[in-house]
Structure 1
Amino acid sequence: MTALLEVSGVSVSFDGFRAINNLSFSIGAAELRAIIGPNGAGKTTFMDIITGKTRPDSGSVTWGERAISLLNLSEAAIARIGIGRKFQRPTVFEDQTVAENLILALKSPRNPFAALAFVLTGEGRARVAALAAQVGLGAHLARKAGELSHGQKQWLEIAMLLAQEPRLLLIDEPAAGMTLAEREQTTAMLVGIARTRAVVVVEHDMEFVRRLNCRVTVLHEGAVLAEGSLDHVTRNPAVIEVYLGRG
């Protein structure tokens, strides 16, 4: 199976510190992957490289069936070809309703007021409703985003990413600050999304990763330390030593 994203032999240093060290990684077009590792393992820099925020010193990052080099593209161009990123803290328009947030994401307009008027009376209405339902916010379209719980804001931002029709989602610590019920719903949501597109989840919560029931990549000192099921990697002596701790 051809990989959707292929990272090969990538390294990058900052002021003499090697943040990413000969890292190779690949993910398929409809795959859920969890990335774990201690602080400083290179998880954020890894995502920065994929999204064009950081340029590596060496290696290659290719995308899609035509193996397009992402290293030649701007951050905006990388987003346009289908890579969406969600940071840990949700960034939504709190004074706008859930529906308005989704409409703005759907159209990416220069004039938001004109775009709102257009989509609310056009065919975008059904798409907005479907996106909200997909993330469990179907009954909250008229609520202001600022009134939502932390977990609901996370879901809204995921829906805003989905509005752009990405082929790959990079999601940073989605379970942080969520209630148990929200975490369970987030698990089901991400598993469902990964049936039709690639999803990479960076997460510290091992129980959340276990519920995802997916392939796990362990990073350490900017390189892949282990890869496989969660049970497989957590039995690896090197992972136990550097991440899980002795005993």
Structure 2
Amino acid sequence: MSMLLEVDGVSVSFDGFRAINNLSINFGKTELRAIIGPNGAGKTTFMDIVTGKTKPDEGSVIWGDMNISLLGMSESRIAMEGIGRKFQKPTVFEAQTVRQNLAMALKNPRGPFAVLMHSKTAENARKIEAVAEEIGLADSLTRLAGELSHGQKQWLEIGMLLAQEPRLLLVDEPAAGMTVEEREKTTDILRRAAQTRAVVVVEHDMEFVRRLDCKVTVLHEGSVLAEGSLDHVTSNPRVIEVYLGRTDA
């Protein structure tokens, strides 16, 4: 299987602390992957490197069919290449409707002339309704985003990213603060999204990860400690030691 993203031998230090240590990890074009690990394992720094927020000291980050390097690219250019990131706290436009939020996020031509010429086309309306259906908010298109529950705001932000048609979606702890029902629906949304793109979920909630039913990568001290199914990695003695031996797991 050809890879969508290849991170090879990447390291980065902050004030002498090695946050990422010779990390190598690859992702296919359509897959769902969970990344777990104790606090300080390097999960956030990994996402920062892929999205251009942090520049590594060494290693390579190769993207897409053309095998281009993401290193040195701006965050906005990386986003335009098709990498979307959802942070833990939802950031939606609360004074706008669900439909307006999705419309603003649609992947459309950029630039002053494109903006001037842009209109509410039937194609855009179809895309908005399709995304709203995918995230379970088809009946809430006219509601203000500020009226949504915490879980619904999370779904809307995922929808806003999907509207940009990313090839890789990085999602940071989507289950945080959700009800059991909302967590179940979120796993369904992510599993469906991964049928047509790569979706990488950083998560602490092991029940949520189990419901994702996907390959799991365990990070520890900035490196891959174990990889495989959740049952496989959680039966690994080193993984057990890392999680049980720390109070901040």
Q: Deviations over 1:34-78 (max 9, x none)?
A: 000000000000000000000000000000112100003111110
- 1:68-93 CA deviation, whole Å, 9 max, x = no partner? 00003111110001000000000000
SS of equivalent to 2:46: helix
| Residues 6 and 26 in structure 2, CA contact (< 8 A), matched pair in contact too | yes
Residue in 2 that maps onto 1:55: 55
* 8 Å contact from structure 1 (residues 103, 116) kept in 2: no
Alignment of 1:205-244 (within 5 A): 205-244=205-244
Residue 16 of structure 1 is matched in structure 2 by 16
Match of 1:29 in 2: 29
Percentage identity across aligned positions?
A: 73
Which residue of the partner structure matches residue 194 of structure 2? 194
8 Å Cα contact 2:86/2:171 also seen in 1: yes
Change (3 A) 1:119 1:187: farther
State the partner residue of 1:166.
166
| Length, aligned pairs only | 245
**Deviations for 1:77-121, whole angstroms, at most 9, x for unmatched residues?**
10001000000000000000000000111157989xx96995445
What residue is the counterpart of 1:69 in the other structure? 69
Counterpart residue number, 1:87: 87
Unmatched segments (≥5 aa) in structure 1: none
Letter in 2 for 1:77: R
TM-score (norm 1): 0.94
Flag the 1:132–1:119 CA change in 2: closer, same or farther, 3 A.
farther
Runs of 4+ in 1 over 4 A off after TM superposition: 107-111, 114-119
Structure 1 contact 119–125 (Cα < 8 Å) conserved: no
* Amino acid of the structure 2 residue aligned with 1:216: V
- Conserved? CA contact 1:104–1:115, under 8 Å: no
Write the distance in 2 (CA, Å) between the matches of 1:126 and 1:62: 34
For structure 2, list consecutive stretches of 5 or more residues without a partner in the other structure.
Answer: none
Q: Give the TM-score taking structure 2 as reference length.
A: 0.94
Preserved contact between residue 172 and residue 201 of structure 1 (Cα < 8 Å):
yes
Tell me, yes or no, if the aligned pair for 2:7 and 2:24 is still in contact at 8 Å.
yes
* 1:123 Cα deviation after fit: 2.6
The root-mean-square deviation of aligned C-alpha atoms, in Å, is 2.0
CA contact (8 A) 2:107 2:165 kept: no
TM-superposed CA distance for 1:245, in Å, is 4.5
Indicate if the aligned counterparts of 2:6 and 2:24 stay in contact, CA closer than 8 A. Answer: yes
